[in-house]
């Protein structure tokens, strides 16, 4: 129930196209859904995040769509650029019994944007 | 503002040895989280330290341990290293105000 399932595992998109990465979860106690971007040799960096009371959040070319009833959320990257080539992780947060928030991560999607 | 720092960048050990990894959180952050990122497995939660105490641990054997110092920096120790411990070990920190986790660049541990 703590799992977050992410797809696809890898994605190749042409420059200017739309990249779409999907995640699904089971635990309805998750209360915050961040996306992280990781470049080779670097740690993950927070990209954008959404709470379940909102259906969509947009920041620049990045949009999260959230479907609470289906327990799914997705990241859309509009006008994809070669510089967006990275691994993207979705995550879900739940308050743990110890009083902190624990993140559960999807397994990641390696995005390659080709010129 | 300096980000989360980790040392060393790379660490090569042999089976059975012990490894010590270090993490310095962002100034003002009191919580430190450790994750293991093995190839194809995403990020697996290892340990959470806050205010010097271990608050939670993931599904890892006891040979994975650590501590948090009074200045909130943290150390991860892995005893009796096994080949499958080879991975990128990531440290993240957060404050009680934002609770967003900020990651360091990681330590690449290779066990031969």
Which tens digit of pLDDT belongs to each residue from A58-99? 999 999 999 999 999 999 999 999 999 999 999 998 877 666
Shortest alpha-carbon distance between residue A49 and chain B (Å)? 10
B32 pLDDT tier (thresholds 50, 70, 90) = very high
From the list B42, B100, B102, the residue facing A106 with the nearest CB is B42
Using one digit for the tens of pLDDT, what is the confidence trace for B36-82?
999 877 899 999 999 899 988 999 999 999 999 999 999 999 999 99
Report d(CA A34, CA A94) in Å as an integer.
12
| Chain-centre distance for alpha carbon B81 | 15
d(CA A57, CA A49): 8
pLDDT for A1-42, tens place per residue?
Answer: 568 999 999 999 999 999 999 999 999 889 899 999 999 888
- Give pLDDT, residue B95: 83
CB A48 within 8 A of CB A34: yes
Q: What pLDDT score does A1 carry?
A: 57
Closest-CA residue of B relative to A109 is: B42
Instruction: Give chain B's mean pLDDT.
Output: 93
Inter-chain CB proximity A44 and B50 less than 8 Å: no
């Amino acid at each position: 129930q703590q799992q977050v399932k992410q797809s696809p595992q890898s994605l190749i998109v042409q420059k200017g196209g739309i990249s779409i990465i999907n995640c699904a979860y089971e635990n309805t106690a998750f209360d915050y859904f961040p996306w992280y971007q990781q470049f080779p040799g670097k740690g993950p960096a927070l990209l954008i995040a959404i709470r379940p009371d909102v259906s969509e959040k947009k920041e620049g070319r990045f949009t999260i769509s959230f479907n609470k009833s289906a327990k799914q959320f997705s990241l859309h990257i509009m006008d994809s650029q070669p510089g967006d080539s990275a691994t993207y992780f979705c995550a879900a947060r739940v308050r743990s019994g110890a009083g902190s928030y624990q993140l559960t991560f999807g397994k990641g999607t390696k995005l390659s944007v080709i010129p | 503002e300096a980000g989360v720092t980790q040392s060393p960048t790379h660490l090569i050990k042999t089976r059975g040895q012990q490894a010590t990894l270090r993490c310095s959180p962002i100034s003002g952050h009191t919580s430190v989280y450790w994750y293991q990122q093995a190839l194809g497995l995403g990020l697996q939660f290892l340990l959470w330290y806050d205010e010097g105490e271990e608050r939670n641990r993931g599904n890892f054997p006891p040979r994975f341990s650590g501590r948090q110092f009074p200045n909130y920096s943290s150390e991860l120790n892995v005893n009796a290293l096994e080949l499958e411990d080879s991975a990128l070990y990531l440290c993240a920190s957060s404050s009680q105000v934002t609770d967003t986790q900020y990651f360091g660049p990681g330590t690449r541990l290779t066990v031969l």
